Amino acid sequence: MEKKASESLVVMTELVMPNDTNHLGNLMGGRLMYWMDIAAALATMKHTETACVTASVDNISFENPIRLGNVVHIEAKLTRTFKTSMEVHLTVWGEDAIGKHRYKSNEAFMTFVSLNEKNKPQAITNELIPETDEEKRLYAGALRRRQLRLILGGKMKPQDADELKALFLTDDRQPTTDNG
């Protein structure tokens, strides 16, 4: 069965309250990551119609803080599915609802695994279909990101990462450089 990437879209909205902030009045990173994990889980469950769990979280870099009283919008959408896992792209926006100012806070990729009734990984049967140029760009890069995750996690040898090698090696197998 095929499902469009857009069908997995989840937009979660939260209001930053005092118990969500640090001593500077900014949303705590851990609270935001908690909300992001929920949004990503919902997106994966929409696609697979199964229970799904977090397998990994890529680098999360905070571009702009989200202040007390501001609104948080988390957009989560699948970028690609693999055998039992899937990648989710998340974009987080902060919004000063009174001042009508919306700004990007951060983005990240998370990997989830689909589980069967015995809570064991199971094959994902719904193929993900990217439609927009952005969905196609994220889909194309997902295999490289996956290989990097597997190498960093000790589950793949660097020499086996064909997608990554193609970025760094020329046809004669010499590393590429930009130093002239």
Q: What is the mean pLDDT of each run of 10 residues along the chain (180 residues)?
A: 96 98 96 98 97 93 94 98 97 94 96 97 96 96 89 81 70 53
The pLDDT score that the predictor gives to residue 135 is 97
Beta pairing partners, 90: 76, 108
The pLDDT score that the predictor gives to residue 84 is 96
Contacts of residue 95, defined as CB under 8 A and 6 or more positions apart, other chains included, come to: 70, 71, 72, 73, 101, 102, 103
Task: Kindly indicate whether the domain formed by 2-130 is annotated with CATH number 3.40.1640.10.
Answer: no
Distance, C-alpha 12 to centroid of its chain: 14
With vertex at residue 136, the alpha carbon angle to CA 130 and CA 139, rounded to the nearest 5 degrees, is 85
The pLDDT score that the predictor gives to residue 154 is 83
The pLDDT score that the predictor gives to residue 59 is 82
pLDDT averaged over every residue in the chain:
91
Length of the chain: 180
Containing H/E element for 134?
helix 133-152
Task: At 37, list the tokens.
Answer: 């994990």
